[in-house]
Structure 1
């Protein structure tokens, strides 16, 4: 059974929708680099000139009818830089839930082989975490996510390590984080229990009708001993960082159908950025391609 099969079992089959992040909306944006990255990478979109971008916000549910409030929900922010084309995919949890593709498949089985909300499923998840203690941090983070006021007030992490190649050929491991310029703002879960699916997407569209929304791209550099192949492990907070630039989200895209069909693939990179030794990151390309193939076929 593939990971995509397991995702379909988790949320049911919803033809034409993504297997996760089914309900989302895309927005026009512009990324303006600060110039601080130019000494560390030759990637054109991080050096000097502004570049247009498309941003897609979503929650991670594979069911487009999943409510937006009430309980902890993992949410996504996918950014497609258009010149040159390269993608940055992030979630509102700092680390991933599995350290290898095989363990990720084991995790999805734990979440799908037993009925949702059942004691059997809870026991299966506990058994997975017991067998894979490195995953405990991500599960704890996901279980305690507060409900945000807006997609504009969430911090997002890209989770995986990447390699920056500098003008002199020097390679450095980095991780990315989007910090909301509006600050982190949350609501009480009980005050959001009646939110309909897509409530936060509608809120963001309304907010953009008044003013743009912006995020700062923070880039953290790995220390010599920091893990680069395991996305379940955070790097220490005292590692050096730079502000690589500012993303300004302007308005919903004119052609939602076109952009919502588009794949936001974290392995779609540009010159000056390379994949790290993280096996989960490399595997995501295959999973995204298979999910897109099934969507295009009307499945």
Structure 2
């Protein structure tokens, strides 16, 4: 994934681990998590990205409008329970909310027959890398430049090579303002999925969580005056006063809309339906071993050919293994 000799793990050559050990083979998932650990160090017990989070118990009431397009049990007519986790995007759990611009909202639907299905949303509509290879090159370039192991001229050359795919994500990040609340963000599930109906017909879709309270932001000046964990504190008070809620919007793709590129947006005039309403009920401690894997889905929903989406399964599992082991 990188031209640096110590990271030729995909070929089976010796590869340097973050702990200095040498091994004959490092899987792409292990390599990715190693690089994420190098961003801000290892924080035992925490995720390697979106490290600090705030969990809620929730209830999702489907509208039934998605039922003709999918057999997914949580998109029919009956209410289902859910766990929601809000987070910043940083690898550092101690980083102030203000300093982690993009926020996340992951929803795990607890299905009637005991299964689970997960949607992961963020406050930017696209990802910054099109493939796992470009993701890794940008991450390793950042880490090696930071530690002085790569000249800035070489780093600029590498980042310039990926500017075309990362441009929309960087522009979206630049436009972000500090949120007034986790409950007042629009969250985009940036990957494409397929809804699968009873006849097996597949329709490409994207999901968005739209806050019923509307999008509300703070000025930089006002956000800077807030406590480092102001978003968690605000949510605790908000949940006591009135249950916040979100609408689940399903956006249908048309012929020619990319299904394998998370760095590209679909046109804004695509058909939408209101698939249901998610109500946040009360804060809860984060369940042990909770993993918000966006590839964990139920029948009636299928993964697209997005390489970043499919890469997440093994990297999430590797992150869980390390934090569960106390690392």
Superposition TM-score, scaled by structure 2 size: 0.85
Contact map agreement 1:129 1:135 (CA 8 A) in 2: no
Q: CA deviation at 1:73?
A: 0.8
Aligned to 1:197, the other structure's residue is in SS state coil
Find out whether 1:91 has 2:122 as its counterpart.
yes
Q: Which has the larger radius of gyration?
A: 2
Q: CA deviation at 1:130?
A: 3.9
Aligned to 2:97, the other structure's residue is in SS state coil
Please give the alpha-carbon distance, in whole angstroms, between the structure 1 residues aligned to 2:216 and 2:318: 36
Q: CA separation of 1:257/1:277 partners in 2, compared to 1, >3 Å: closer, same or farther?
A: closer
Between the two proteins, the alignment pairs up a number of residues equal to 293
Aligned position for 1:73 = 101
Alignment partner for residue 11 of structure 1, among 32, 40, 56? 40
Q: CA deviation at 1:108?
A: 1.2
Superposition TM-score, scaled by structure 1 size: 0.93
Aligned position for 2:27 = none
Q: CA deviation at 1:144?
A: 2.4
Alignment partner for residue 33 of structure 1, among 62, 65, 72? 62
Please give the alpha-carbon distance, in whole angstroms, between the structure 2 residues aligned to 1:32 and 1:148: 26
Q: CA separation of 1:53/1:297 partners in 2, compared to 1, >3 Å: closer, same or farther?
A: same
Superposed CA RMSD in Å reads 1.9
Q: CA deviation at 1:115?
A: 2.6
Aligned to 1:167, the other structure's residue is in SS state coil
Contact map agreement 2:134 2:162 (CA 8 A) in 1: no
Structure 2 unpaired stretches of 5+: 1-6, 8-30
Q: CA separation of 1:196/1:126 partners in 2, compared to 1, >3 Å: closer, same or farther?
A: farther
Q: CA deviation at 1:204?
A: 0.6
Contact map agreement 1:110 1:125 (CA 8 A) in 2: no
Aligned to 2:61, the other structure's residue is in SS state strand
Aligned to 2:256, the other structure's residue is in SS state coil
Aligned position for 1:211 = 242
Find out whether 1:295 has 2:323 as its counterpart.
yes
List, as ranges, runs of 4+ consecutive aligned residues in structure 1 with deviation greater than 6 Å. 120-123
Aligned position for 1:239 = 270
Aligned position for 2:52 = 23
Please give the alpha-carbon distance, in whole angstroms, between the structure 1 residues aligned to 2:139 and 2:226: 27
Aligned position for 1:57 = 86
Please give the alpha-carbon distance, in whole angstroms, between the structure 1 residues aligned to 2:142 and 2:211: 31
Contact map agreement 2:90 2:100 (CA 8 A) in 1: no
Contact map agreement 1:51 1:82 (CA 8 A) in 2: yes
Structure 1 unpaired stretches of 5+: none
Please give the alpha-carbon distance, in whole angstroms, between the structure 1 residues aligned to 2:169 and 2:54: 25
Q: CA deviation at 1:202?
A: 1.2
Q: CA separation of 1:122/1:211 partners in 2, compared to 1, >3 Å: closer, same or farther?
A: farther
Contact map agreement 2:119 2:294 (CA 8 A) in 1: yes
Q: CA deviation at 1:129?
A: 4.3
Please give the alpha-carbon distance, in whole angstroms, between the structure 2 residues aligned to 1:122 and 1:206: 48
